[in-house]
Amino acid sequence: MRKRLAELKNRRCKFRAVVERFGKQVYKSKSYNTILVTFVTLTDLQVEVADHCWISIKGSITKLGLKPGDEIEFEALVKQYTKGYKSNKYGINKQRTEYGLQRATNFRRVDL
């Protein structure tokens, strides 16, 4: 499914998605708020580009009072990242390239 995201690599686009749930990510002793969105579609073409994505969020989105099931629109940068486990010591390399959304801004709730 994320092959369509790969075509948009390093481009900033407008997306529409459904809020699934909120979470936290801990990295180097710091905690970051995240949001899981599902049914991620490219707004311009109305084509689904990912079944789900985790996005780091800042304080401004909390003012929207979002709940699971709400539909939102936002802009984000499509970036490549490495996912998986690698151990040089044991000769294990289960890493793979994935694509996700970063630097999401301009969140707004879509009223149906």
Model confidence pLDDT, tens digit, residues 5-46: 888 999 999 999 999 999 998 888 888 889 999 999 999 989
By residue range, what is the domain housing residue 71? 3-109
pLDDT band at 1 (very low <50, low <70, confident <90, very high): low
Side chain identity at 111, as an amino acid letter? Answer: D
Burial of 33 per CB tally in 10 Å (0-12, 13-18, 19+): middle
Burial of 25 per CB tally in 10 Å (0-12, 13-18, 19+): exposed
- CATH number reported for the structural domain that contains residue 64 in this entry: 2.40.50
Q: Kind and range of the H or E element at 5?
A: helix 3-6
pLDDT given for residue 27 in this prediction: 85
Structural domain count, the chain: 1
Model confidence pLDDT, tens digit, residues 61-86: 778 888 999 999 999 999 999 989 99
Model confidence pLDDT, tens digit, residues 78-109: 999 998 999 999 999 999 999 999 999 999 99
